[in-house]
Structure 1
Amino acid sequence: MLTLVLAMVWHRRGQSITLALLSLLAVASAVAAPAYLIAADRAVAAGQVATAATGELTLTVRGVQDSAVGGESNDFADLGGTLIALPGFQYFYSAETPTVGLEKTDRYPTRLVFRQDVCAHVTIVAGRCLFGESDVLLGQRTAERLGLAPGDDITLAGAVPDGSAGVPRFVAAGRPKALVVAGTYLPTQPAETYWGRHGYFVGGADVGSGEPVFTTSMTLPATDRARTEMAIDGVAAPGVLDVDRIDGLRAELRRLDESAAELDDTLQIDTDIPKLLDRIDEGRAASRLLVPVLAVPLVLLACFSIYLTVGYGADGRQSELAVVALRGARWWSRWWLAAGESLVAVLAGALVGCLAGQLLINVVTAVRFPGVGQAADWSSLRYAPIAALIALLAAVAAQRRQLTRPVAGLLRRIPGPGTGRVPFGEAVLLVLTVLAGVQLVLSDGSLAGIGLFAPALLLLTLALLLSRALLPVLGRFAAGALRRGRLGPALAGLQLTRRPGASRLFALLVAAAAVAGYAACAVDTGERGRDTQARLGAGAERVLTVQPVSGRQLLAAVRATDPDGRWAMAVTQLSSGTDHPVSGLAVDSRALAAVATWPRDAPPAGTVAGRLRPVAVEPTVIKGPELALDITSSSNRLQLSVNVSSLDGESVVDFGKLRAGRATYRLRPVACRTGCRINGLQIGGSGATQVKARLAIHSLGDRWLLAKGGALATGPDGITLQVEVSPSYGEVARLRPAGVPDPLPIAYAGVVPDAIKGLADDNLRVDPVAALPAVPQLGRQAYLVDLDYVGLLASGTKRAQATQVWLNRAAPPDAVERLTAQGLTVVDDTGTAAVRERLEQQGPALSLEFYLLAAGLATLLGVGALVLTVAVDRGRRTEDLVAMRIQGLRRGPAGQATFWTYPVLVTAAVVTGMLVGLAGWRLTGWALPLAGVNPPDLPLPGQPRWGVLFWWTVAVLVPYLLAAVAGGRDLRRRVG
């Protein structure tokens, strides 16, 4: 019996090879999805690690020692041993103590720091690196500002904070230590992970220069100090954060926390590694949702293709099976003769397909994710036996009718009566589709439970319903053509509609094209969404994050670098002063149109910029270095402070108490050494009772307004104020430059904030002047204001929450160097390209690459089913048409019937399938997590572009047409 079956396979070897290849594709499709998920998991982890921030790649253990002369605590040393037991990290020891004696101010200390291997991570500008005890390295700008050079001596003393005078300051708390300047340095990469989370290079008016004094491990023990902050920084080595180590690393971090708590409650462990691990898990979770969305219909399509093609082949062998039944063969012989030929081909293809699916993903992984994790992962082959078994079951189920049908039924060549009813399986599929769709809607798009299968069920159900609806239409068209005497189209249409299994073939081709159409919608929508996130989410082509400075200092530095606002724009973040804060951006509106990436459907950037800054305000400028004020006061209980800013920084210059009568007050603030601008004045009182006085300022002109606390009059001799303040309540009178609109003009997206704060001591009132669909970088709930206006309305000096410089493509190559020359320190350099790269390495983008693979496999399945169908039909159709030719059918109509049958079929099926895919996307695509991990609230596109769908349709249709035309030409040649 086996010999007979093998002979049957050899006799129809073309059909058997085609069926084996189809089985190979079907099983390979089933194996490819889990294999790709494994590869995507590794790629997601590697991508997140590659784009992680410093804090997400390091852990820092901190301890504080309060003693006269330092030695390391035993608990800290014990924890160091615990850290060494945490494998895969490179550790660096550091210690620092606050000192005074280097700077002229006592408002902040000088950080004296020992850090292991520091010389390998700084660039020596002058002198040499550290060698012996008492050697120190000074920052280049600090040395230039203080006039120090290598070889000079300095003296530092340990310091402690002292607030007894009402103003925070630092005072010496130990014996002075003589030190030698070994050299001056610049950090080679201020943002590299080696520096950990210590913020060594963060400077500002209240924290210092941002250039610590580095020294050797021998110097600190020899220094008389009261407080030492010690730290051990662990930097993750390559491979530590691979996906295979995530669970183990979580457990190790928990044990480290427990060890620290047992040793000393004062020890602190700072790390954002758990955040990185959570983000990796979120990306993997997105992949595990997105890949099955198209893997499920692909697997169902694979089973359907085997079911259809095996059944189609069995239909072509009905006459043989009828002869076997007429001869009274036993049921097992009849079963083996009916199913054996198909089972041999399916089994052979399935066995090869198990290996082919894994090899395909291995090749994709090697090309797309080189060097990520293991070279090849074969664990997904555990699904191969299941896939092969399903393929064999589908082959057996496809031939059940031929095994049970009576001889009369096997001899019929057209469908018998009653075959048009809806099969039970299709009814069940329709019910499941409705249930899955309802769950998807009620769960607000949660791809869980049966809702995960909603897209797959919907595509297959629509394909089946449309095949049942369209083929009768085609049959009526063929009947009409026959009545009109058009024999060619009539015969082609009747062959399609009256052939057994034609409806299922059309449904298969529609479903295959629908899978490709759904993939096209997802890929294009995801691509456009990532483009929007990269462009609008970044804010500009290039975004430089600089060390925190005041908004006015940032604005001055950027304007000095790019005076015309052609390629650089200063940007800071603000927040509203309401109970529900809304984020905002303060920008240099002069450069808004030239630099910012602007949202679609928004008013032109130039128009919005004009509304944000309707008038130019000229500040009061002091050429420096002396700040002199000519003032007449009626009281000696008034106190005056002036807010000034320049490229050297921003500060509040305190003139102290004013004398009664007219006098000139002179100071030389550091910020005004090369000139500065006066941004505001503040007049307070002293004593315990209310102060009422008259104050005249003769030397500042008359372009001032009184923002708070009295009345103001202008005259030829300057400005005159009637001041009434209460020192006990902290009341002050504030002057700001005239001409700044109050309330502040604001462009907004979403909710208009009641007030904003961030650079000012008081909340600023707002006047909405433009509505936007989204604010660049922040999204659909944010606002936009002019940075210069905010600075002039602000009465105090504050460092901004986030300070950035946005650049466009016209920025010169040395833009960073130019900004550095103006006193800004760039700590991060991102932008559209960097955001796009990060998005491309997240779970959604990597999962959508599987959609491309799924579209290709679905198309190959459809083409294989078509080729096998053509091969099965060829013999019977040749007999029919040859008989008609003998009866007088002309060559032309016969050629039309043979050549155009399948091209018309596949064209209709592909177009219908692409429309089904689009319909499925519109109904379920909104639930797919395409936006990435923690996306900003941006107006992302939800639908694909029609042009893209057109070219996808062409690309899918071409292989079908090639197979259809080849089959039609072969049939026409046989008919003659």
Structure 2
Amino acid sequence: MISLVLAMVWTRRGQSLTLALLALLAVAAAVASPAYLAAADRAVAAGQIATATPAERGIVLSAAQDDRIGNDGNPGFSDVGAALADLPGFDYRYSAEVPAIGIEPDNRNASRVVFRQDACPHLRIVAGRCLIGEGEVVIGTATARRLRLAAGAAITLTFAKSNNSDANPLWLPDGKPKRLYVAGVYDVPTPGDAYWGTHGYFTAVPGRGPGEPVFLGAATLADFDHGRTEMAIDGTAGPAALDIDHLPQLRAGLERLKVASSKLGPAVQVNTNLPYLLDRIDAGRSNARLLVPVMAVPLVLLACFSIFLAVSYGAQGRQPELAIVALRGNRWWSRWWLGTGESLVAILAGAAVGCVAGQLLVDAVAAARFPGVGVAAGWSSLRYAPIAALAALAAAVLAQRRQLASPVATLLRRNPAHTNGPRSFAFEAVVVLLAVVAGVQLAVSGGTLEGIGLLAPALTVLALSLLAARALLPAVTGYGSRALGAGRLGPALAGFQLSRRPGAQRLFALLVATVAVAGYAACAVDVAARGRDVQAGLGVGADRVLSVDPVYRSQLLHAVTAVDPGGRFAMAVARLPSSAADEPLGLAVDSRRLAAVAAWPGGGPSAREVAERLRPDAAAPVVLEGEDLSVDVTTIGMTKGRELKLLVAVSSVDGLGDALVDFGTLRHGRSTYAQRVPVCRTRCRLNGIEVTIATNDTAVTGRVVLHSLGTINPVRTIAQLGDVSRWRIGNLGRLAADPAGLSIDATAPGGLPTGIWVRPVDAPFPLPAAYAGAAPASSVTGLDAKPLPVRLAGRLPAVPRLGDHATLVDLDYADRLAVDASPALDPEVWLNARAPADVVERLSAQGLTVVGDTRSEQVRRGLAEQGPALSLYFYFLAGGLSVLLGAGALVLAAAVDRGRRVEDLSALRTQGLRRPVAGWATLWTYPALVAIASVAGVLIAVAAWALTGWALPLAGQNPPPLPLPAWPRLPVVVLTAAAVFILLAAVAVGTGRDLYRRIELWGQP
């Protein structure tokens, strides 16, 4: 028996080889899914580790110690040594820091005196040398230039402590002065290197330029008279600690460290963001475990379907043989073995090779896409191979059930019975029902890919493909009849060939599913890629975003204008504060540069149009020239104990800062008051005049008349001060025209909780605001944290950086309406691709200190290393395997049909069938089938995407609030369908040409 089966395999070795290849692909697909998941798991971890920040790669143990008073028994670093020993692979460095004065021209800021172990290898000495002996320090280049110090200079430093005064903060000497020598001047090549940890050594001191510590050695620090010292041990995770295969042990070690530090109380602080890195890795792996099965399931189903179809076609071609076996009266097991043995042998051989092929295929993809990561060793990827092999064998047996159970008379029929009987209809009905149930669960669960919901894409594709195939035969039969009636014999023969073959419907369903799977994969890949572009572009806000140390809004605007006067590449940006949890986020931008710099969402008004709405024409600001401000005021009607005082909010026009000038308590009658305001030594813009209560009383009565407001040197006053139309007042007070000046009625029996503000009419009011999402109320929180009335100026799909629920206003106008004289909230400078390479140096020269640099391309590369992006490479693999399965099934079907069609068409040729007609019937039958399947398949792919694609976590488990694309681009879908059609049509044309050649040679000696 075995030799007979092997002889059958050899006789039909072409068909057996094709069936073996289909089994190979089926098992390879089952092996490739877990193998790819294992590779993706490692790639996700490697990508996140490579892009982790220093805080996410290290641990900082910090404690304060004062040698003058001792530790009083408080625990120290030694008490967490055992926990640190449980974290192998970390490099530890000791550091200590004290404040000192002596080299700065005043005591408003202290120098950071730092000892850091092994600092010299991480510094670049530009003058002199690094530290060698006791009594030496090295200082930064900006410090040396600002203080005119050079290598070899002598300096004196004294330990200092703060005077804890909010009104006039100063550092006071608190130790013996120590004479030191500048050994060298340093620069820092990579201030963001993990070695420097999270101490912010190079963060700027406001008004002092770039932050640069004074570095000294351990011996020098020990001899330096100092009090409270901030000590730290920085642990930086090395390759061994972050080894991909040992991340669970790292998490367990961190938990033990957390427990150990909690027992020490507040004396020792343990700070690390390593758990966030591990959580991000787990989230990426979770996304991969959802996305890969979504495409693996339809691929395996397609493989089983292709085997079922191939074996079914082969069994139909061998019906005369099976009839002879049945006629001989062999026992049932002999009949089953002779009937199924040929297919089972081919499938088992293909399955054995498929186990290796699937792993090797993933190894090749991982080597190309994840270089240096590798694939985890082990046999876990083969755990589904037996299941896939058994499924292939079951499909083969199921495909031959009719031939093995049919009587001899049925097997000898020239035209076998159609397969569209009740059983076939019931099977298709079950598949459709399962697809509906899976889709409903997916919708009800809100897109949770669990249980049968995970099978929703696969079942949807399969159900729609079967329904499309069921509609094929009536259409083809009708087409053949019409063609025959019209005398077009070639198309009629091709149509009847398809409609009369029992397996034609299944072959069409398989080809439709092949195109649909490839099309669905293309939809996912395209939508995900465009989503990453949105996150990297609109999510960042611009090509490059620089975060700067806190500065006044006027300083930020002035610095950016000085660096880019033409508005070609830079834009100043600040956040609006939110006073309520439900208030949308807000962004204030220099809208004059919005169109040139910002990444902008599609589907709404253009950036240029929005900029014009946000910045309508307004009156020129009120400018004061000189630092000595003077105001001439008359107070009328004030009562004792309820005196008023006057304040003026100003902003430097030349980037020197903002100030809230307090002229003090107003006296009865007419008086002149003056104050020196250093930020106004060139020119200042007047933001507002405040009249408020000077005592703790609530009720206020009185009237204030401003006769003049201006500067003393030079003597200049605000023109038309008494013109009420040039001023705007809040709800509490009332303006009135007065021949002597500007009259402010300050009568408020209920008190003045926020004062009476009088502002120049130099900005539109209410302020124009564009918005995304729900329209904001009549006001938003302004830059000064006070309610700011707004006028809606247009709806946007999204606000750059903030997303689909936010507001956008003009920074300059919003700053004019603010009277807080406080630094900007989250100041940033947005840049486009035309920004010069030295833009950071230019901004630093204007007084801005860049502390963060986010580039759109960096974000895009980071997203490409996350779980969703890495998972989608399996979709390319699945699409290619699905096309190979369809092509293999098509070749086998054509090979089985070949004998029957050669006989039929050769007989017709003998009876006078013309060559062109025979050519049409042979060459274009299967290409026509492929063409129809391609059109139906691409439509089903789009339909399946509409029904299930929204549930795929292509942007991660917590997608950002951005208008991420939901639909693939039409050219991508069309090109994918065209590529699949070309490949399958080439196979179909090849089989047709072979058939035509055999017909022409049939009967020749």
TM-score when scaled to structure 1?
Answer: 0.92
Shift of 1:858: 0.3
Structure 2 match to 1:904: 928
Equivalent residue runs for 1:44-55 within 5 Å: 44-55=44-55
Alignment equivalent of 1:597, drawn from 596, 599, 607:
599
Residues 690-729 of structure 1: CA distance to partner in whole angstroms, max 9, x if unpaired?
A: 7966554232524784756866789999877777899998
In structure 1, C-alpha distance between the alignment counterparts of 2:649 and 2:146, rounded to whole Å: 24
Q: Distance in 1 between matches of 2:748 and 2:373?
A: 68
Distance 1:178 1:679 in 2: 48
1:61 aligns with 2:61: yes
Distance 2:191 2:701 in 1: 50
Could you tell me which amino acid in structure 1 is paired with residue 766 of structure 2? P
Q: Which residue does the alignment assign to 2:858?
A: 834
**Secondary structure, counterpart of 2:763 in structure 1:** coil
Alpha-carbon shift at residue 449 of structure 1 (Å) = 0.9
Partner of 2:638: none
1:522-548 per-residue CA deviation (whole Å, 9 max, x = no partner) reads 222222222222222121122222233
| Contact 1:402–1:410, Cα closer than 8 Å, also in 2 | yes
Superposed CA deviations along residues 73-103 of structure 1, whole A, max 9, x for unmatched, are 7521332553244122222222223344554
- Aligned amino acid, residue 535 of structure 1: G
Which residue matches 1:582? 584
Tell me which amino acid in the other structure corresponds to 2:557. Answer: L
Using a 3 Å threshold, how does the CA distance of structure 1 residues 27 and 924 change in structure 2: closer, same or farther?
same
Q: Does the 8 A contact of 2:570 with 2:832 survive in 1?
A: yes
Alpha carbons 1:433, 1:458 under 8 Å: kept: yes
714-723 or 547-556, which moves further after superposition?
714-723
Residue 714 (structure 2) aligns with: none
Match of 1:273 in 2: 274
CA distance in 2, matches of 1:135, 1:47: 42
Which shows bigger deviation, 912-921 or 574-583?
574-583
Equivalent residue for 1:34? 34
How does 1:246-645 map onto structure 2 within 5 Å? 246-374=247-375, 379-416=380-417, 419-423=420-424, 424-615=426-617, 618-619=620-621, 627-632=627-632, 638=645, 643-645=650-652
Structure-2 separation of matches of 1:541 and 1:698: 44
| 796-805 or 205-214: bigger deviation | 205-214
**8 A Cα contact 2:650 2:686, kept in partner:** yes
The 5 Å alignment of 1:121-140 reads: 121-140=122-141
- Cα separation, partners in 2 of 1:202 and 1:574, compared to 1, 3 Å: farther
- Report whether the alignment pairs 1:652 with 2:676: no
- C-alpha separation in 2, matches of 1:741 and 1:200: 43
Contact residue 204 and residue 549 of structure 1 kept, 8 A: no
Cross-structure match for 1:844 = 868
Distance, in Å, in 1 between the alignment partners of 2:729 and 2:219 is 55
**Per-residue CA shift, 1:456-510, capped at 9, x if unaligned?**
0111111111111112210122133333433222221121111132221111111
Tell me which residue corresponds to 1:796: 820
Whether the 8 Å contact between 1:437 and 1:454 is mirrored in structure 2 is: yes
State how many pairs are aligned.
Answer: 973
Q: Is the contact made by 2:563 and 2:842 (CA closer than 8 Å) also made in structure 1?
A: yes
Match of residue 749, structure 1, among 760, 768, 772: 772
Residue 513 of structure 1 aligns with an amino acid whose one-letter code is: V
User: What is the deviation of 1:900?
Assistant: 1.7
Query: 1:112-155: CA deviations, max 9, x gaps?
Result: 32222333334445444333334334444444444444444444
1:769 aligned partner, one-letter code: A
| Amino acid across the alignment from 2:390 | L
Alpha-carbon distance in 1 for matches of 2:130, 2:727: 54
**1:697 matches 2:703:** no
**1:575-626 Cα deviation digits (max 9, x unpaired):** 3333413211111111111111221122222222122221356456677xx7
- State the secondary structure of the residue aligned to 1:698: strand
| AA partner of residue 885 (structure 1) | R
Identity of aligned residues (%): 55
1:935 to 959, 968, 971: 959
**Amino acid of the residue matched to residue 896 of structure 1?**
W
| Contact 1:701–1:718 (Cα < 8 Å) also in 2 | no
Paired position in structure 2 for 1:855: 879
Residue of structure 2 in register with 1:957 after alignment = 981
Q: Which moved more, 1:114-123 or 1:14-23?
A: 114-123
RMSD of aligned Cα (Å):
3.2
Q: What secondary structure does 1:214 align onto?
A: strand
Contact between 1:565 and 1:594, CA under 8 Å: does it hold in 2?
Answer: yes
1:324 deviation in Å? 1.4
Q: Distance in 2 between matches of 1:405 and 1:239?
A: 66
Work out the CA distance in 1 between the residues paired with 2:166 and 2:609: 51
CA distance in 1, matches of 2:422, 2:622: 89
Asked if the contact 2:410/2:416 (under 8 Å) is kept, the reply is no
Label 1:932 to 1:751 Cα distance change in 2 as closer, same or farther (>3 A): same
- Which stretch of the first structure deviates more once superposed, 217-226 or 799-808? 217-226
Shift in CA distance, 430/274, structure 1 to aligned 2, threshold 3 Å? same
CA distance in 2, matches of 1:537, 1:490: 58
- Distance in 2 (CA, whole Å) between partners of 1:255 and 1:111 is 33
Contact kept in structure 2, 1:575 and 1:582, CA below 8 Å: no
Indicate whether 1:245 and 2:246 are aligned.
yes
Query: Taking structure 1 as reference, are residues 684 and 158 closer, same or farther at Cα in structure 2, changes over 3 Å only?
Result: farther
Task: Name the CA shift for 1:314/1:7 in 2 (closer, same or farther; >3 Å).
Answer: same
Distance of 1:714 and 1:125 partners within structure 2: 65
Q: Distance in 1 between matches of 2:571 and 2:128?
A: 37
Q: Is the 8 A contact 1:97 1:227 kept in 2?
A: yes
Look up the match of 1:740.
Answer: 763
Find the counterpart in structure 2 of residue 96 from structure 1.
97
Q: Residues of 2 paired with 1:121 and 1:677: CA distance?
A: 45
Gaps of 5+ in 1: none
CA distance in 2 between partners of 1:756 and 1:658 (Å): 32
Gaps of 5+ in 2: 636-642, 712-716, 1001-1005
Moved more, 651-660 or 769-778: 651-660
In 2, the alpha carbon distance for the partners of 1:580 and 1:840 equals 33
Pairing partner for 1:885 from 909, 930, 945? 909
Give the CA deviation at 1:557: 1.0
Encode CA deviations 1:239-282: one digit per residue, 9 max, x unaligned.
Answer: 64454333222111110111112234432222222122212212
* 3-state DSSP of counterpart to 1:218: helix
Counterpart in the other structure of 2:5: 5
Does the 8 Å CA contact 2:75/2:268 hold for their aligned counterparts?
A: no
Q: Residues 175-227 of structure 1: CA distance to partner in whole angstroms, max 9, x if unpaired?
A: 44444444444433333332222233333549996333333323433334342
Of stretches 158-167 and 489-498 in structure 1, the one that deviates more from structure 2 is 158-167
- Residue 656 and residue 106 in structure 1: after superposition, are their counterparts in 2 closer, same or farther (change >3 A)? farther
Q: Contact 1:110–1:208 at 8 Å: present in 2 too?
A: no
Q: Is the 8 Å Cα contact of residues 108 and 208 (structure 1) preserved in structure 2? A: no
- Which amino acid in the other structure matches residue 513 of structure 2? A
Shift of 1:15: 1.2
Paired AA for residue 115 in structure 2: F
Residue type matched to 2:763 in 1?
Answer: V
Q: Structure 1 residues 781, 302: CA separation in 2 closer, same or farther (over 3 Å shift)?
A: same
Query: 1:28 Cα shift?
Result: 1.0
CA 1:206–1:903 in 2, change beyond 3 Å: closer, same or farther?
same
Paired with 2:909 and 2:431, the residues of 1 have a C-alpha distance of 44
**TM-score, normalised with respect to structure 2:** 0.90
